[in-house]
């Protein structure tokens, strides 16, 4: 198992010598490597069992580093970066020739963000290269929001997990691309679309397309527990329909009593969707271990971070 540590210098040394390390961000933990080290990047794809056509996000220490990897940056992209970085916003921008095709899976755009986590910002500032980092989970499974989640997923595949505690946001970054100067939402995430639209005006949306996913985070089945999972807006009816099974129940605010429900969690007793988003993946990890035959998840309100939560629940429940 990788060693869980808070020693930034140790992790930096490993990354400098071409190693891979798990790092904390405010959204989820990432599996990081030097974007210019072909061996490190190949190791990330191998360890994650990620298809090579699925590109990686480049993590920068600050906005000033942006033009080392991107060019022809739309004015609106810069405005968003200035407003939301460091933070859970990833921008798709025309890539500089110096960014290896291995990072972008041959695409002309590069995905970039400045993560908002004090340890990882220190780490990035201490390195002479940016870090590519997909979420630190095997392809298709639930993303990790703690060092322990990462440790459970991987054996001796890499040496260190930088322990930054539990992720404050708990859902991946929101991904925005540009059609000229028109912003396009590629992935719902921890930054609410309403907050982006307050600056940009209405966003266009990319809808899922399994054959040619523009952003493979859009794959229909993703973020999935091993236990069969279904999503519902009518908890009482759905629990009744599966009453012959052992049910684990995931709700927004309130418990629901039923003899077939052997385990349950509420994401946000306070009714705040930010609380629910931060709690989602840890709850899904626990639900998956509860010994239930089926997980029934309640659909969240359709606004703010409820959009990102429902997006993940839909992909978790897709057969
Ligand atoms: O919050 C996050 O974004 C986390 C933390 C670690 O930063 N990272 C993350 O990475 O979620 P990953 O690899 O699990 O998801 C990145 C998504 C993938 O769906 C990928 O296809 C998409 O970003 N992506 C990356 N580069 C792209 C590009 N040039 N064009 C379109 N989609 C891209
Ligand atoms: Mg991921």
Q: Residue 218: is its pLDDT beyond 70? A: no
Average pLDDT, the chain: 95
- Name residues with Cβ closer than 5 Å to ligand 2, which is an ion: 135
Q: Is 92 in the pocket of ligand 1 (CB under 6 A)?
A: yes
242 C-alpha vs ligand 2 centroid, how far in Å? Answer: 31
Model confidence band, residue 212 (pLDDT cutoffs 50, 70, 90): very low
Q: Does the beta carbon of 216 lie inside 6 Å of ligand 1?
A: yes
Going from the Cα of 220 to the center of ligand 1, the distance in angstroms, rounded, reads 15
133-149 confidence digits (pLDDT tens): 999 999 999 999 999 99
Residue 236 has φ and ψ, to the nearest 5°, of: -60, -45
Judged by its nearest atom, the ligand closest to the C-alpha of residue 139 is 2
Tens digit of each residue's pLDDT (9 = 90 or more) over 155-179? 899 999 999 999 999 999 999 999 9
For 249-308, write each residue's pLDDT tens digit: 999 999 999 999 999 999 999 999 999 999 999 999 999 999 999 999 999 999 999 999
> 59 burial class (0-12, 13-18, 19+ CB within 10 angstroms)?
buried
In terms of residues, how long is the chain?
A: 319
Q: Is the pLDDT of residue 215 over 90?
A: no
Tell me how far apart the alpha carbons of residues 114 and 37 are, in angstroms, rounded to a whole number.
20
Q: What's the angle, vertex CA 131, arms to CA 129 and CA 137, rounded to 5?
A: 165
H-helix or E-strand spanning residue 262: strand 261-266
Band of pLDDT at residue 208, cut at 50, 70 and 90: low
Domains and CATH numbers, the chain: 3-205 (3.90.870.10), 229-317 (3.40.50.11030)
Q: So what's the pLDDT on residue 211?
A: 42
Q: Measured from the CB, is residue 215 less than 6 Å from ligand 1? A: yes
pLDDT at 214 over 60: no
- For 232-248, the pLDDT digits (tens) are 999 999 999 999 999 99
Q: Are 200 and 193 in contact (CB under 8 A)?
A: no
Task: Inform me whether the pLDDT recorded for 222 exceeds 90.
Answer: no
Alpha carbons 238 and 242: distance in angstroms, whole number:
6
Query: Is residue 210 predicted with pLDDT exceeding 80?
Result: no
Torsion of CA 80, 84, 87, 88, to 10 degrees: -50
pLDDT of residue 217: 55
Please indicate whether residue 175, judged by its CB atom, sits closer than 6 Å to ligand 1. yes
What is the average pLDDT across 212-222?
Answer: 61
Q: Which of 59, 103, 172 to mutate to test the pocket of ligand 1 (most atoms within 8 A of CB)?
A: 172
Ligand that lies nearest to the alpha carbon of residue 32, given by its number in the listed order:
1
Distance (Å) from CA 90 to ligand 1 centroid? 8
């Amino acid at each position: 198992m990788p060693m869980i540590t808070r020693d930034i210098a140790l992790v930096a040394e490993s990354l400098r010598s071409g190693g891979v390390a798990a790092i904390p961000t405010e959204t989820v933990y990432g599996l990081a490597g030097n974007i210019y080290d072909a061996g490190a990047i190949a190791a990330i794809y191998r360890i994650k069992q990620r298809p090579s056509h699925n590109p990686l996000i480049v993590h920068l220490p600050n906005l000033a580093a942006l033009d080392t990897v991107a060019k022809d940056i739309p004015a609106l992209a810069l405005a968003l970066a200035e407003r939301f970085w460091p933070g859970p916003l990833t921008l798709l921008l025309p890539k500089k020739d110096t960014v290896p095709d291995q990072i972008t899976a041959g695409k002309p755009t590069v995905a970039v963000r400045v993560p908002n986590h004090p340890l990882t910002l220190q780490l990035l500032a201490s390195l002479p290269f940016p870090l590519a980092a997909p979420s630190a989970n095997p392809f298709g499974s639930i993303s990790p929001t703690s060092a322990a989640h990462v440790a459970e997923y991987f054996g001796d595949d890499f040496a260190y997990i930088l322990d930054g505690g539990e992720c404050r946001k708990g859902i991946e970054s929101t991904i925005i691309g540009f059609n000229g100067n028109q912003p396009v939402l590629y992935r719902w995430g921890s930054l609410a679309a309403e907050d982006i639209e307050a600056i940009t005006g209405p966003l266009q949306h990319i809808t899922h397309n399994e054959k040619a996913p523009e952003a493979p985070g859009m794959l229909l089945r993703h973020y999935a527990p091993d236990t069969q999972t279904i999503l519902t807006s009518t908890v009482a009816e759905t629990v009744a329909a599966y009453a012959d099974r052992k049910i684990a129940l995931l709700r927004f605010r309130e418990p629901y009593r039923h003899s077939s429900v052997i385990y349950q969690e509420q994401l946000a007793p306070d009714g705040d969707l930010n609380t629910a988003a931060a709690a989602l993946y840890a709850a899904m990890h626990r639900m998956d271990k509860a010994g239930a035959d089926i997980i029934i998840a309640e659909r969240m309100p359709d606004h703010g971070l409820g959009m990102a939560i429902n997006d993940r629940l839909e992909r978790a429940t897709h057969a």
